Amino acid sequence: MNIRSKLPHVGTTIFTVMTNRARELGAINLAQGFPDFDSPETLKELLARSVAGGHNQYAPMIGEGALREQISRKMGLSYGRAPDPDAEVTITVGATEAIFSAVSALVHPGDEVILFDPSYDSYAPAVILAGGRPVHIPMQQPHFRIDWERVKAHVTPRLRLVIINSPHNPTGSILQSGDLDQLAEVLRPTEALVLSDEVYEHMVYDGAAHASVAAHAELYARAVVCFSFGKTMHATGWRVGYAIAPPELTREIRRVHQFNTFSIATPLQVAIAEFLKLEPQHSNDLAEFYRRKRDLFLRQLQGSRFRWIPAEGTYFQLLDFSEISDADDTDFADRVLREAGVASIPVSPFYQSPPKLTVVRFCFAKKDATLIEAAERLRKL
């Protein structure tokens, strides 16, 4: 059988590879980004109540009205913009589907899409499947900042979309409001759009504030902003996300969404909507919750030969291993897995053309005991 692959260079994701190997070796999994602790008890009780209450048939294609209204309220409180629940909010299968549907709807064959490497691994395949051409611009090490002069040099008449991600996976860096101003300046003479992946919006540390495209009037007029309840509610397996966009962009996203997934699990949506109403402070507590875990993990690594810049956001921490080994990051991650029994993620798979990298990514969304045990093993390297 002669099958022509649309993604011939795409294999199994590094997350699946490292998680499977961690399972095979009985290692501590600090690779894939999921908590090893449970969701809030109230949320689980609300889900059980939702199922028992008969919310078990199709939800509306655009999402349950009660959830869209709660999202609008939350956005208004967080960013000063309360989007129209009917015209600007769409519930999706996690943020990944929001991103995929947006790219599929807005990118046409031959369009260029700027990605900032290291870029999350779902972006480029979505662009390629839409017939677009990914334009990879590397971020500046060691703080992983965007060089806006370099971005200007890559603006062509074919530019259709710029994808940004803050707080940034895999590096833990964040964009400042000044970065958004510079992006707006770059795009002002163009018709290009923005897709902003903000799934770690509430995980920003050390007094910094999340700079959301939703709060930037000029950018929002040409943007799709994607979020995830899986991240904020410690429920990655629920796969509930949402896209916020002006009405004309939302209409296009929904044209794809309705034939992609159509609608998202009704009882999950009902439970999340009620949780947002009952416990609106939950999101506000996340920054301190995860900052403590980041700091615990780094304290436990004191005395090791790792070096680090504390993560500004997300629940991922990069550790620099240059004083331990001169191996590349993929080989070092394999060594850590085999010798220390701790799974991490190398950063080079997130590049089109990776430079020399001496950092690997660890997830600190784990129980304190897990982090202490992992750090003890890492100190022995």
Residue 15 CB partners (closer than 8 Å, separation 6+): 31, 32, 33, 121, 345
**Would you say residue 12 has pLDDT above 90?**
no
- 320 burial (CB, 10 Å; 0-12 / 13-18 / 19+) is middle
Residues of the chain with CATH 3.40.640.10: 41-278
Taking only the tens place, the pLDDT of each residue in 45-97 is 999 999 999 999 999 999 999 999 999 999 999 999 999 999 999 999 999 99
- Which pLDDT band, with edges at 50, 70 and 90, does 338 fall under? very high
Taking only the tens place, the pLDDT of each residue in 245-263 is 999 999 999 999 999 999 9
pLDDT for the residue 60: 98
Residues of the chain with CATH 3.90.1150.10: 14-35+282-379
Strands 193-197 and 223-228 turn out to be: parallel
Taking only the tens place, the pLDDT of each residue in 42-53 is 999 999 999 999
Residue 180 CB partners (closer than 8 Å, separation 6+): 211, 213, 216, 219
**Would you say residue 152 has pLDDT above 90?**
yes
**Would you say residue 13 has pLDDT above 90?**
no
pLDDT for the residue 68: 98
Average pLDDT over residues 1-27: 88
**Would you say residue 11 has pLDDT above 90?**
no
The CATH topology of domain 41-278 is Aspartate Aminotransferase; domain 2 (3.40.640)
Strand-pair partners of 244: 89, 225
* Among the listed residues 378, 339, 120, the one whose alpha carbon sits nearest the alpha carbon of residue 226: 120
Taking only the tens place, the pLDDT of each residue in 259-295 is 999 999 999 999 999 999 999 999 999 999 999 999 9
**Would you say residue 22 has pLDDT above 90?**
no
* Among the listed residues 47, 21, 41, the one whose alpha carbon sits nearest the alpha carbon of residue 270: 47
pLDDT for the residue 108: 98
Distance CA 97, CA 366 (A): 25
The CATH topology of domain 14-35+282-379 is Aspartate Aminotransferase, domain 1 (3.90.1150)
Average pLDDT over residues 154-169: 98
283 close to 74: Cβ distance less than 8 angstroms: yes
What does pTM read for this prediction?
0.96
pLDDT for the residue 2: 82
Other C-beta atoms lying within 10 Å of the C-beta of residue 356: 10
- Which pLDDT band, with edges at 50, 70 and 90, does 358 fall under? very high
User: Percentage of the chain with pLDDT > 90?
Assistant: 94
Taking only the tens place, the pLDDT of each residue in 293-317 is 999 999 999 999 999 999 999 999 9
pLDDT for the residue 10: 86
**Would you say residue 31 has pLDDT above 90?**
yes
pLDDT for the residue 185: 98
